[in-house]
Structure 1
């Protein structure tokens, strides 16, 4: 599932006329970079949620990825059309859950991570585990110096371990990292006791994901990996401009 419903307030005025995930990095929309990587790694069934300027997203993607669209492998959850607003991450996933499998990839449409590998072996191992989520964490960028989660690394060779529900104002013996907004999730995370949104979110409840993740962390049901490849949260016009100036990535890579 690719998240593409947000308003992108900090990206204004660019997002007054263009959804943030359709902003270009080196001639390709942010969403297209993700889809290219997913296709490269064998993920060929996608759900995209929409809200702000939502009609633009299927218009663009169906034209850019006609084989996926024609095969019915590119589907949409139209939160704006159905409810008049975006449902935030947990609410949006709950809404799309009937279209998703029991385990699935999640990626935010406003991050640039062209070299991230959507590893099929990792996805299979996750599906067979008791974990409800597996997050990829990145070194803290300048705009988030305190990070999001403490991280207890259990396998240094592979950079895997457990994220910890430790607040930014709480001491921790473990280093803190930023959530990349790329994850593997299970449908069970969006059911009781972790989530109280009705199946399919028929009432359009808007709810963030972080509270569900913290509950599951406290129960030892969330894993994490460190990702130290290229990654940018394209949250402001300045970051977008800097990214286009610095990351000279050949389009032929994907």
Structure 2
């Protein structure tokens, strides 16, 4: 699931007429970087939630995306032109259905029938459409490891950027770990243990969005708004969330200044 429903208040006036995931970074719409990376990893089905100016997103990418667009970058292609790594996109239009974004948990519960139509305990990626992480590799091996772990979520954390110096979560990597995977920790405010920032890229199990972790009825027909952090912290308290550190290029494109910096040649 690619999260693309936010208003992008801090990006105004750039987002007054363009949704943030469509702002161009190094020649491409921001969310296109994720779509291309998912395609390279073999993940060919994506659900995109929309709200603010959401019709622009569905018009841009339609229901079919190819990671090999022409030089003008027009990613939508006809059925006859589909390549082996074509990505099929479905949309959850929160703005159209409810007048605005449902926040992360509300949006995921709303989209679950599209994400896991036949699997009550399915597993899926969740990533924010306004984050630039061109080095991140989506791998089936990570999915397989997560499924085998039985955990409810697996997060990729990054070193704290200047705008989030205190970080979000701790990370406890056991000495026996050969891949840097450990438990994600909801550290108390007075803890001196290091914290890292959640990259907004993670793997999730559908069970995290049902009771006892989430009280929103399946499908979120009432359009309940709910953030994700409370569930994550509750699951961390029960040692149900793992994490690992990602050290590749990563930017939360949250301000015009950060966008300009990404588009400034070295």
- Tell me the TM-score normalised to structure 2 length: 0.88
Matching residue within 182, 190, 208 for 2:209: 190
Deviation at 1:125, TM superposition (A): 1.6
Alignment of 1:5-20 (within 5 A): 5-20=5-20
Aligned counterpart, 1:224: 243
- Aligned equivalents of 2:23, 2:59: Cα separation in 1: 14
- 2:32 maps to 1:32: yes
Asked if the contact 2:44–2:87 (Cα under 8 Å) also holds between the matched residues in 1, the reply is no
Aligned counterpart, 2:61: 61
**Deviating more after overlay: 151-160 vs 35-44:** 151-160
Q: How many residues align?
A: 245
Aligned counterpart, 1:210: 229
Deviation at 1:162, TM superposition (A): 1.0
Alignment of 1:138-217 (within 5 A): 138-154=158-174, 157-167=178-188, 169-172=189-192, 174-217=193-236
Deviation at 1:158, TM superposition (A): 2.0
- Aligned equivalents of 1:176, 1:128: Cα separation in 2: 26
User: Structure 1: 5+ residue runs without aligned partners?
Assistant: 249-254
Q: Any runs of at least 4 consecutive aligned residues in structure 1 with deviations exceeding 4 A, and if so which?
A: 67-72
Aligned counterpart, 2:132: 112
- Aligned equivalents of 1:72, 1:217: Cα separation in 2: 33
- 2:96 maps to 1:81: yes
- Aligned equivalents of 1:201, 1:4: Cα separation in 2: 18
Deviation at 1:20, TM superposition (A): 0.3
- 2:108 maps to 1:93: yes
